[in-house]
């Protein structure tokens, strides 16, 4: 026969647990809370003298008008009425300046013919952050795989055009040189893209010039009668090949949606750079959807901007879409470090 455990030892044990535990009676009233519960309340500005002990947990949850709290109240009520014996719920609990997630485990216990529910709130923030990082890596891998079929359209179209000339009297050494340049660019894109997909980061950082990288990207993009105006330049540290893909995608986006005679401006902001055009622009409600990770999988424009976004994030920068000076689209990359005016 097992020895009877001292109730004081059980009390000490519950208070020693590193996560928040509370016990509610069959009416939903909190009758016990451990020290971790009280410490969490103190750390988050609780003003209740007894840390809600004696309060009805069901009532508090339902008065909060929060969907998660309502789910907890309904599930807890089902426990206390005997309709279920256990429930678990992962939920966010984000303070203004941070992000946190918790796992709620609740089960029923009986004592002196009275049903109780015991709840444990476990901080799972580290696990959720790891999952989010994993999801970001998967998203970037999917995006980069699509680069091989998306970004290679530009050099391939150049090759196709000049190849047609080789069958005519117009073929000359300049055409052959253009073909060679485009094939070299294709090989460079493949190597850079696969390396980025493998490492999920940028390791080949060098000092780059905005005016130089923008002009090189413009020369590699079929731009018809479009014009490029570089309003300001600067030098900063980046992966040159990946950054060129950023500009090629933004330039192609401007031409595809702004028309063959669109004007594109490139310049600097207080914290980074911008690419702007005088095309039809992007409606405000669509801007957010274009930055959504899921859009990139089935939309041509979304894919190009998803490539831009993946490369920008890999550099620890930020990417945003705004309305341009003439109603067109303005893309800004901010958070660029080590900027030097040139």
User: Do 70 and 196 belong together in one domain?
Assistant: no
**Same domain as 274, residue 155:** yes
Identify whether residues 115 and 195 lie together within a single domain.
no
Q: How many domains does the chain have?
A: 2
Q: Which of 123, 152, 187 is the last residue of a domain?
A: 123
Question: Residue 296 — very low, low, confident or very high, per pLDDT cuts 50/70/90?
Answer: very low
In this structure, are 271 and 302 located in the same domain? Answer: yes
Q: Which residues of 139-169 are buried (b: 16+ CB within 10 A; e: fewer)?
A: bbeebbebbeebbbebbeebbeebeebeeee
State which of 92, 123, 154 marks the end of a domain: 123
Whether the pLDDT of residue 44 is over 50: the answer is yes
Verify that 106 and 156 share a domain, yes or no: no
Could you say which of 123, 158, 182 is where a domain stops? 123
Q: Note whether 78 and 170 are same-domain residues.
A: no
Residue 253 has pLDDT above 70, yes or no: yes
CB count in 10 Å sphere of residue 274: 20
Residue of higher predicted confidence among 111 and 187: 111
Q: What is the pLDDT of residues 27-37, one digit of tens each?
A: 999 998 888 88
Average pLDDT value over all residues in the chain: 82
Residue 134 belongs to domain spanning: 129-341
Same domain (yes/no): 151, 222? yes
For the segment 158-164, the average pLDDT, to the nearest whole number, is 73
Residue 2 falls inside a structural domain: no
191 and 108: one domain?
A: no
Which residue's entry shows tokens 């049903």? 115
**Is residue 63 domain-resident?**
yes
Burial 236-248 (b: 16+ CB within 10 A, else e): bbbbbbbbbbbbb
- What's the whole-number mean pLDDT along residues 24-49? 83
CA 300, distance to chain mean position in Å, is: 19
- Greater confidence (23 vs 9) lies with 23
Q: Which of 212, 236, 210 is nearest to 339 (CA)?
A: 236
> What's the rounded Cα separation, in Å, for the pair 101 and 240?
38
Alpha-carbon distance of 274 to 287, in angstroms, equals: 16
If one compares 168 and 290, the residue with the highest pLDDT of the two is 290
* pLDDT range class, residue 251, cuts 50, 70, 90: very high
- 167 and 105 inside one domain: no
Residues 83 and 215 in one domain: no
**Residue 114 in this model has a pLDDT that exceeds 90:** no
Q: Indicate the pLDDT class of residue 299, thresholds 50, 70 and 90.
A: very low
Q: Is there a domain that residue 1 lies in? A: no
Alpha helices in the chain (DSSP H): 7-16, 35-43, 57-63, 67-80, 125-150, 153-166, 173-199, 210-219, 240-258, 284-290, 300-314
| The pTM of the whole model exceeds 0.85 | no
């Amino acid at each position: 026969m097992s020895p009877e455990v001292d109730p004081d030892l059980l009390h000490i044990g519950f208070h020693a647990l590193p996560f928040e535990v509370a016990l509610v009676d069959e009416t939903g009233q909190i009758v016990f809370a451990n020290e971790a519960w009280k410490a969490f309340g103190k750390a988050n500005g609780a003003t209740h003298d007894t840390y809600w002990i004696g309060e009805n947990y069901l009532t508090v949850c339902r008065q909060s008008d929060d969907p998660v709290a309502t789910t907890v109240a309904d599930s807890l009520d089902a426990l206390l009425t005997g309709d279920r014996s256990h429930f678990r719920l992962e939920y966010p609990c984000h303070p203004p300046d941070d992000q946190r997630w918790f796992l709620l485990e609740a089960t029923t216990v009986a004592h002196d013919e009275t049903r109780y529910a015991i709840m444990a709130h476990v901080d799972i923030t580290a696990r959720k952050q790891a999952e989010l990082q994993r999801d970001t890596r998967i998203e970037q891998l999917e995006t980069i795989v699509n680069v091989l079929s998306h970004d290679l359209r530009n050099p391939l179209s150049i090759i196709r055009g000049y190849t047609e000339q080789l069958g005519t009297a117009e073929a000359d050494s300049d055409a052959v040189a253009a073909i060679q340049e485009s094939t070299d660019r294709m090989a460079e894109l493949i190597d850079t893209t696969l390396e980025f997909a493998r490492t999920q980061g940028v390791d080949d950082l060098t000092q780059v010039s905005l005016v130089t990288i923008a002009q090189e990207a413009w020369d590699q993009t079929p731009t018809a009668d479009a014009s490029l105006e570089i309003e300001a330049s600067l030098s900063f540290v980046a992966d040159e090949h990946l950054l060129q893909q950023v500009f090629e995608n933004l330039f192609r986006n401007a031409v595809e949606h702004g028309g063959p005679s669109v004007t594109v401006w490139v310049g600097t902001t207080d914290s980074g750079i911008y690419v702007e055009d005088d095309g039809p622009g992007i409606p405000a409600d669509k801007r957010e959807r274009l930055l959504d990770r899921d859009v990139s999988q089935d939309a041509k424009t979304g894919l190009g901007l998803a490539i831009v976004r993946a490369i920008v994030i890999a550099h620890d920068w930020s990417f945003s879409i705004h309305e341009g000076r003439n109603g067109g689209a303005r893309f800004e990359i901010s958070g660029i470090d080590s900027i030097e005016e040139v």
